[in-house]
Structure 1
Amino acid sequence: MTRKIKLIHPRDQITTIISRIYKRGMTTTSGGNISVIDQNGDIWVTPSAIDKGSLRASDIICVKKDGTIIGKHKPSSEFPFHKAIYEARPDIKSVIHAHPPALVSFSIVRKIPNTNVISQAKHVCGPIGYAEYRLPGSEDLGEVIAAEFKKGYKAVIMENHGTVLGGSDLTDAFERFEALEFCARTILYGSQIGTPRYLTNEQLDDFQAQATGVLPEMETTSYLSDEVEKRLEICQIVQRSCQQGLMISSYGTVSMRWNENDFLITPTGINRWDIDLDDIVQVKEGKREAGKKPSRAAWIHQEIYNRNPEVNSIIMTQSPYLMAFGVTGSYLNVRTIPESWIFLQDIKTLKYGAHFRKNNNSDLVDNCATALIIENDSVIITGDKLLQTFDYLEVAEFSAKSIVLGNSLGEMVPINDNQVEDLRKKFLS
């Protein structure tokens, strides 16, 4: 994934990422730690026993290459294994350790999540290692974790403990962390309603290879005021989606129709949390804004706009409860509450590969429904105003969550046909 070149102090990098992790419920007040090693070999690390929900840059500790500690707190008690990873793998420049619930679930049953559950996850996460239990904070723990990293892993499940991930920078490590936890959640939620199905390595290779050549560039690009406003709206919805767990760093596409069939769309290869106005790509008359690469799914968005004049915005993303249905093939019956049926009415599921351009699948774009699930890949939500489309996404995810959670209580009793007809007459006539 493309890295934006920004001069950000390690202290600020760490506080930004730990805040995201904490607010998304992937660590606790006291749990987890992050570090970055700089060009001097100094390691910047979160402090021990300080609230992760309110960390400031001034709280971050620097452990100099000679062992000198600079800062007003003690470094994390898990600092030894951070140091051991950097010594074992000079290519690793950042480490994240946390106890996100789904990955801890795998940790305590001593299993590794199968990242073939979602199309791009294996590419983001790489192979997953497994470190046997050792006393937290001990040199022994550092040794067993470093031994896994020496094998080439950048993600390791820690037995009865959690997970640890490394990256070429902190953004890279966070993308890996977020994608792995997403896989774990999707597998867990899918197991509540059915049996998760996994993609073959050949299918994953097809996914990586299926993107066609980049659109030709425009010679000149105009930026009118209404176009700039739409860029801002897209950025705000992407940020909101990330904050609410409806999108992850490494996957998610948002677009808005701009002028006739021309549209604005999020780029490929840029971390979704960090997208700004200048990253959004204008696509006009089949050409892209010069110097930018639109999402690889741009052709899907183009075809939906071409064939569905009432659609003016599209969100293509992965959210864990919807994808629980996507990886099991279970039917998502949205007759849960009146709002869900009124907004969504029905959610179809297409087989994996329907979103490949070479297949030219008309079912994907013709008469596009409000929501559509592509097995083991994504959900596509369409609507008029972008906020409305985002609302549909939230309603769909909440509906899926209610069914997954309710499954442990008993069989779902949907709104019946007579009740649906009453809703149709009152709200859709």
Structure 2
Amino acid sequence: MSKNIKLIHPRNQITEVISRIYKRGMTTTSGGNISIIDDNGDIWVTPSAIDKGSLRASDIICVKKDGTIIGKHKPSSEFPFHKAIYEARPDIRSVIHAHPPALVSFSIVRQIPNTNVISQAKHICGPIGYAKYRLPGSEDLGDVIADEFKKGYKAIIMENHGTVLGGSDLTDAYERFEALEFCARTILYGTQIGTPNYLTDEQIEAFESQAKGVLPEMESVEYSSEELEKRLEICNIVKRSCQQGLMISSYGTVSMRLKEGDFLITPTDINRWDIDLDDIVQIKNGQREAGKTPSRAAWIHQEIYNRNPDVNSIIMTQSPYLMAFGITGKHLNVRTIPESWIFLQDINLAEYGTHFRTHNNSEIVDNCSTALIIKNDSVIITGDKLLQTFDYLEVAEFSAKSIVLGHGLGEMVPINDEQVEDLRQKFLT
């Protein structure tokens, strides 16, 4: 989907995003609905009782400002609360409602996830509202949800129902939806292995403050054939990471070394699902490609490349099972299966704040390990080829998932020291 969504018809926007939600397992065939209100006041909305896994643009319904319905299906049964939200909040131009499993878990125990579990979610999601249970599809449900939106919320937990989120456009709403479900999943997985720790508002503000400032612009830029190939490789890995649930719209940085300390890196403030070749930022001699803003983590990538000549690609992201260890501070023992240990060896935990510019960050950049978790922030994976680095990320997330899922079965029995030494002799010497 193009970054300039104003140039895409609401029908196509809706089908693209509902497809993402369905394929990521965040709604069912019959569940969930999306709408957009256009400049004419007409509301475009998903249809009722039509397979969410195969929606086409022609299936999307238009409810005109005067109430006339245009389309071959009935509008979603939840259309009343979409309409109520738009009437209550003129700044809201798109609404997403779905039943993602983790947020439903919070809704059925009648709790709100604490988004201070990771650095940026508080600013993306904002404060979270809570709507009492009402009959689905009823005007009464629309009233209680609209009342919550009138309080200024853009994200609402619906009691025994799911969640509803609004945004200035569909991309904004989806980023909020994805970030909130990520927080919920990470908290749930974290509680399986320990006690989640949360950042204070002061810690989050300190992160936001230190992350500001960009590199100076270079006067001219050249694009070699090799660089163009690497741009495509970065875009493909970013989109694959999003599809695999290893990266979310609002967070994730990928870079590749060009030569010496020069590299390509993903930008900041661009939805990861929509990233394109011309979004990638060239960094050369400590300067950035003109007119582009690199990831706020660009300085960490630069330091890793400068101090680790064998590292040629870096992925810095948040994946839910790895971050379960990041928010609890529990050690992730990757001696689960031979492949995990061979690829990753040991995964260390760095304290929150060690990734700040002003901190002595040698723990992160010196003798850079294949995988490192920064508490309540991210995981950093390094490697030679980018596909190899992505494979390491997948292996790390699978290892973390196996441990979280196995925790309820009994105590983990890792590969022993003798077995590890055999692996070392065969594969690493």
Shorter-chain TM band? over 0.9
Alignment of 1:159-174 (within 5 A): 159-174=159-174
Question: Take 1:143 and 1:398, find their aligned partners in 2: how far apart are those partners?
Answer: 43
* 1:222 alignment partner in structure 2: 222
SS in 1 for 2:256: strand
* 1:199 alignment partner in structure 2: 199
* 1:241 alignment partner in structure 2: 241
Question: Take 1:134 and 1:118, find their aligned partners in 2: how far apart are those partners?
Answer: 32
Question: Take 2:114 and 2:60, find their aligned partners in 1: how far apart are those partners?
Answer: 34
- Kindly indicate whether the alpha-carbon contact (under 8 Å) linking 2:288 and 2:294 is maintained by their aligned counterparts in 1: yes
Does 2:157 correspond to 1:157? yes
SS in 2 for 1:171: helix
In the TM superposition, residue 3 of structure 1 has moved relative to its aligned partner by: 5.5
SS in 2 for 1:358: coil
In the TM superposition, residue 6 of structure 1 has moved relative to its aligned partner by: 5.0
Aligned residue type for 1:317:
T
Aligned residue type for 1:158:
M
Question: Take 2:255 and 2:55, find their aligned partners in 1: how far apart are those partners?
Answer: 35
Gaps of 5+ in 1: none
Alignment of 1:6-405 (within 5 A): 7-405=7-405
Aligned residue type for 1:306:
N
After superposition, the C-alpha distances for 1:189-242 in whole angstroms (9 at most, x for unaligned) are: 000000000000000101111114210101000001100000000000000000
Aligned residue type for 2:372:
L
Aligned residue type for 1:309:
P
In the TM superposition, residue 363 of structure 1 has moved relative to its aligned partner by: 1.0
Aligned residue type for 1:37:
I
Question: Take 2:48 and 2:335, find their aligned partners in 1: how far apart are those partners?
Answer: 48
Q: State TM-score, norm by structure 1.
A: 0.99
Aligned residue type for 1:159:
E
RMSD: 0.9
Question: Take 2:96 and 2:283, find their aligned partners in 1: how far apart are those partners?
Answer: 37
Question: Take 2:5 and 2:14, find their aligned partners in 1: how far apart are those partners?
Answer: 16
Question: Take 1:25 and 1:161, find their aligned partners in 2: how far apart are those partners?
Answer: 16
- Kindly indicate whether the alpha-carbon contact (under 8 Å) linking 2:254 and 2:314 is maintained by their aligned counterparts in 1: yes
The alpha-carbon distance between structure 1 residues 260 and 6, as it changes in their structure 2 partners (threshold 3 A), is farther
Between the two proteins, the alignment pairs up a number of residues equal to 428
Q: State TM-score, norm by structure 2.
A: 0.99
Aligned residue type for 2:234:
I
The alpha-carbon distance between structure 1 residues 73 and 323, as it changes in their structure 2 partners (threshold 3 A), is same
In the TM superposition, residue 5 of structure 1 has moved relative to its aligned partner by: 5.6
Question: Take 1:4 and 1:235, find their aligned partners in 2: how far apart are those partners?
Answer: 18
Aligned residue type for 1:416:
N
Question: Take 1:52 and 1:387, find their aligned partners in 2: how far apart are those partners?
Answer: 32
SS in 2 for 1:282: strand
In the TM superposition, residue 261 of structure 1 has moved relative to its aligned partner by: 1.3
SS in 2 for 1:112: coil
Aligned residue type for 1:390:
F
Aligned residue type for 2:366:
D
Question: Take 2:255 and 2:126, find their aligned partners in 1: how far apart are those partners?
Answer: 29
After superposition, the C-alpha distances for 1:126-180 in whole angstroms (9 at most, x for unaligned) are: 0000000000000000000000000000000000000000000000000000000
Aligned residue type for 1:271:
N
Aligned residue type for 1:73:
H
Question: Take 2:365 and 2:427, find their aligned partners in 1: how far apart are those partners?
Answer: 26
* 1:414 alignment partner in structure 2: 414
After superposition, the C-alpha distances for 1:354-373 in whole angstroms (9 at most, x for unaligned) are: 10001131111000000000
Deviating more after overlay: 37-46 vs 258-267: 258-267
Gaps of 5+ in 2: none
SS in 2 for 1:124: helix
In the TM superposition, residue 116 of structure 1 has moved relative to its aligned partner by: 0.3
Q: How many percent identity over aligned positions?
A: 86
Question: Take 2:264 and 2:424, find their aligned partners in 1: how far apart are those partners?
Answer: 34
Question: Take 1:240 and 1:361, find their aligned partners in 2: how far apart are those partners?
Answer: 30
SS in 2 for 1:354: coil
